Amino acid sequence: LRHCGTDIFCRRPPRRCPTCGCSLRGAGLPAAPLRLPSPFRHGHRQPRAFLLRPTAGTFLECFSDSSAPPDSLALFSGVVYNYNEEGVRREETGWEQCISISLVQPDMFGLLQQWDELLEEFSAGEAWLPHRYNEHDHNCYTYALAFVNSILSTQGKRQMSKSEFTERFVVPQTTRASRYLTLHQALTENDFYIVPLPAGEEQC
């Protein structure tokens, strides 16, 4: 909510402004509480998407561990395909909290119909045998991006480099998630997280 020239983040709407102590009842529309949507999605309910999650645990559990690399993958009919030292894995659980990046637009009817078959065929390739896995340069991200590029090729479109895909699609989502996690961390330690409004913005 917004009051006293600040954005006030909290887990439960307060009756009084934590900055000035005034009652928030009748304080106007800006002081009405708004719920921030979570940037995380249930991965098994995100069809045809590129998903990110921490290697172990969940984002909310691991928000202080910036060294934990994410897993990445493509999704297939509720079953998550990802690649590690065991080869391509097909998982029906374990991806309940992810960053989701949609890969197929609703008007791409042909691709919607072929997606499952294309992913299964791609995953059977020799490039994804267990012994080829390398944590640094032939990993889950390599697998997912290679599948994305195989789709682009079938559509006659230019393939993307890892840096281009990351910058265009991954960074905006992870930046949003990072802000959310900053709030989450602050509100595990305090009842309120108060941020002054930028200069010139309308204040209450």
Q: pLDDT for 129-160, tens place per residue? A: 999 999 889 999 999 999 999 988 988 899 99
C-alpha to C-alpha distance for 89 and 22, rounded to whole angstroms: 56
Evaluate whether residue 13 is within a structural domain.
Answer: no
> Does some domain include residue 146?
yes
In a domain, 109, yes or no: yes
- 88 within domain boundaries: yes
Query: What is the mean pLDDT of the segment spanning 104-122?
Result: 81
Report yes or no on 113 lying in a domain: yes
**Residue 16 domain-assigned (yes or no):** no
Number of domains in the chain: 1
CB-neighbour burial class of residue 66 (10 A; exposed 0-12, middle 13-18, buried 19+): exposed
pLDDT over 70 at 71, yes or no: no
- State which residues form the domain around 50: 41-160
As a whole number, mean pLDDT of residues 81-107 equals 88
Is 184 inside any structural domain?
A: no
- How many alpha carbons fall within 13 Å on the CB side of residue 139? 11
